[in-house]
């Protein structure tokens, strides 16, 4: 049995090499690798502060307790724990360090802080209150919030979009329409074609008229210098826009727009399979046990139904 006392100390240089090797050997998406690296750094920075060179199981338990008392959410803590589990399981497999995460339970979430769906009237208020100035940044921000609400797209999917992913083609009814090609969550190559209603695409077109970076491989939504937006920036943009109309609660987050989209479609009688298809789920385990592809006409209908409710 591998003993901690027989292992090398996880000093900064040695540790950085192990983490990089771990990430290189995993076929995770680019964003997933970045997340793992960031989360592992949180734990080992904690160890450095405590002068812990050979962490043990009790150190991870103390670390989790520290996060709880710091007010971190259960989801944040559990995501960190997942990263630690995968990393130490990898080290244990190679015989470099024992898996000190075994038998450590996940933190139970506080039901009082679950995210809630935004009401349609709140979404409309947020859009109407956004700065009405004819410049690239204001038009970009409006287009982002508008697209998130009208399509249910994820933040990561939105930030990955490039100019070439927005295109026009004939749909199932032979009518010209605009579409987005969205990268699915957790996949490196899988994509999802999303129909855009006029109210979804018009703000994007208005923004593109002033956008400086217009090459096909440039990011669709970017900084003025063309750099990719950070998911945290998108979250802050939504929270700031929501506070502008008096919505300031931890239960309402950027993800609430996705909840709103699904709730509207469901209340309007759309099939759960179609809603799942539009949202780009690999399966619709939240609504059924089997994934059924319902076709483009069904997907566009769901988007049109939601669009009608969100009539600004």
pLDDT digits (tens, 9 = 90+) for 121-158: 999 999 999 998 889 999 999 999 999 999 999 999 99
pLDDT score, position 224:
92
- Which of 80, 110, 140 is where one domain is finished? 110
Q: 156-175: per-residue pLDDT in tens?
A: 999 999 999 999 998 667 78
- Residue 185 pLDDT grade (very low, low, confident, very high; cuts 50, 70, 90): low
Question: Could you tell me if 225 and 285 lie in one domain?
Answer: yes
Pairing mode, strands 191-196 and 176-183:
antiparallel
Same domain flag for 202 and 228: yes
Same domain? 146 vs 219: yes
Lowest mean pLDDT among 104-118, 187-201, 210-224: 104-118
Residue 199 DSSP label: H
Alpha helices in the chain (DSSP H): 12-25, 30-49, 57-69, 74-94, 120-129, 136-151, 155-160, 198-208, 231-243, 256-267, 272-279, 296-309
- What residues make up the domain containing 26? 4-110
Task: Return the pLDDT at 48.
Answer: 94
Total of domains in the chain: 2
Contact of 197 with 149, CB cutoff 8 Å: no
List residues bridging with 194 in a β-sheet.
180
* Burial status of residue 80 (CB atoms within 10 A of its CB: 0-12, 13-18, 19 or more): buried
Establish if 61 belongs to a structural domain.
Answer: yes
Q: Among residues 62, 80, 110, which one ends one of the domains? A: 110
Highest mean pLDDT among 134-138, 260-264, 288-292, 308-312: 134-138
Average pLDDT of the segment spanning 279-298: 45
Both 143 and 254 in one domain: the answer is yes
Same domain assignment for residues 100 and 124? no
Question: What CATH number does residue 16 fall under?
Answer: 1.10.150
- What's residue 284's pLDDT? 42
Reduced to 3 states, what is the DSSP secondary structure of residue 100?
coil
Residue 291 located in a structural domain: yes
Model confidence at 272, in pLDDT bands (50, 70, 90)?
Answer: confident
Alpha-carbon distance of 134 to 137, in angstroms, equals 9
How confident is the model over 19-23, as a mean pLDDT?
A: 93
Tell me the pLDDT band of 25, cut-offs 50, 70 and 90: confident
Q: Which of 214, 243, 235, 239 is nearest to 226 (CA)?
A: 214
C-alpha–C-alpha distance, residues 45 and 10, integer Å: 12
78 & 125 share domain: no
Query: For residue 110, what pLDDT band results from cuts at 50, 70 and 90?
Result: low
Same domain, 220 and 134: yes
**Nearest-angstrom CA–CA distance, 58 and 11:** 19
User: Residue 312 — pLDDT band, cuts 50, 70, 90?
Assistant: low
pLDDT digits (tens, 9 = 90+) for 223-246: 999 999 999 999 999 999 999 999
Q: Which of 17-26, 157-166, 275-284 has the lowest mean pLDDT?
A: 275-284
Q: Do 136 and 96 touch, CB atoms closer than 8 A? A: no
Same-domain status, 126 and 244:
yes
Looking at residues 36-57, what average pLDDT do you find?
Answer: 94
Report the pLDDT averaged over residues 106-116: 64
Q: Are residues 137 and 283 in the same domain?
A: yes
Picking from 110, 131, 159, the residue at the C-terminal end of a domain is 110
- Sorted by sequence, the CB contacts under 8 Å of residue 59 that are 6+ apart come out as 47, 50, 52, 100
Displacement of CA 189 from its chain's centroid (Å): 17
Does residue 257 sit in the same domain as residue 283?
yes
pLDDT class of 14 with cuts at 50, 70, 90: very high
Cα(78)–Cα(89) distance, rounded to whole angstroms?
16
60 in a structural domain: yes
Give 67-96 pLDDT, tens digit per residue: 887 878 888 899 999 999 999 999 999 999
Q: Which two tokens stand for residue 70?
A: 């710091």
Whether residue 115 is contained in a domain is answered as: no
CATH of the domain at 168: 1.10.443.10
Q: Are both 158 and 25 inside the same structural domain? A: no
Average pLDDT, integer, range 169-191: 76
From 95, 41, 34, select the one nearest 63 (Cα to Cα): 41
Do residue 106 and residue 191 come from a single domain?
no
């Amino acid at each position: 049995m591998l003993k901690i006392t027989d292992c090398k100390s996880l000093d900064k240089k040695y540790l950085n090499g192990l983490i990089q090797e771990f990430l290189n050997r995993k076929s995770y998406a680019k964003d997933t690798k970045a997340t793992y690296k960031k989360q592992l750094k949180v734990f080992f920075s904690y160890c450095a502060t405590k002068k812990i060179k050979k962490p043990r199981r009790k150190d991870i338990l103390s670390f989790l307790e520290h996060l709880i008392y710091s007010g971190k959410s259960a989801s944040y803590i559990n995501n960190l724990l997942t990263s630690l589990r995968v990393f130490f399981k990898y080290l244990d497999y190679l015989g470099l360090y024992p898996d000190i995460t075994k038998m450590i339970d996940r933190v139970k979430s506080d039901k009082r802080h679950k995210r809630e769906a935004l009401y349609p009237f709140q979404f409309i208020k947020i859009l109407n209150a956004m700065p009405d100035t004819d410049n690239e940044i204001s038009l970009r921000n409006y287009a982002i919030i508008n697209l998130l609400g009208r399509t249910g797209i994820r933040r990561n999917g939105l930030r990955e979009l490039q100019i070439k992913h927005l295109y026009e083609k004939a749909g199932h009814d032979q009518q010209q329409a605009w579409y987005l090609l969205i990268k699915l969550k957790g996949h490196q190559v899988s994509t999802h074609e999303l129909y855009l209603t006029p109210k979804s695409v018009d703000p994007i077109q208005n923004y593109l008229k002033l956008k400086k970076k217009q090459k096909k491989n440039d990011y669709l939504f970017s900084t003025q210098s063309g750099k990719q937006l950070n998911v945290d920036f998108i979250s802050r943009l939504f929270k700031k826009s929501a506070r502008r109309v008096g919505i300031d609660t931890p239960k309402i987050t950027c993800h609430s727009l996705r909840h709103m989209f699904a709730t509207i479609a469901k209340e309007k009688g759309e099939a759960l399979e179609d809603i799942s298809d539009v949202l780009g789920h690999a399966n619709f385990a939240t609504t059924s046990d089997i994934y059924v592809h319902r076709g483009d006409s069904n997907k566009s209908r769901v988007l049109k139904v939601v669009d009608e409710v969100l009539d600004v």
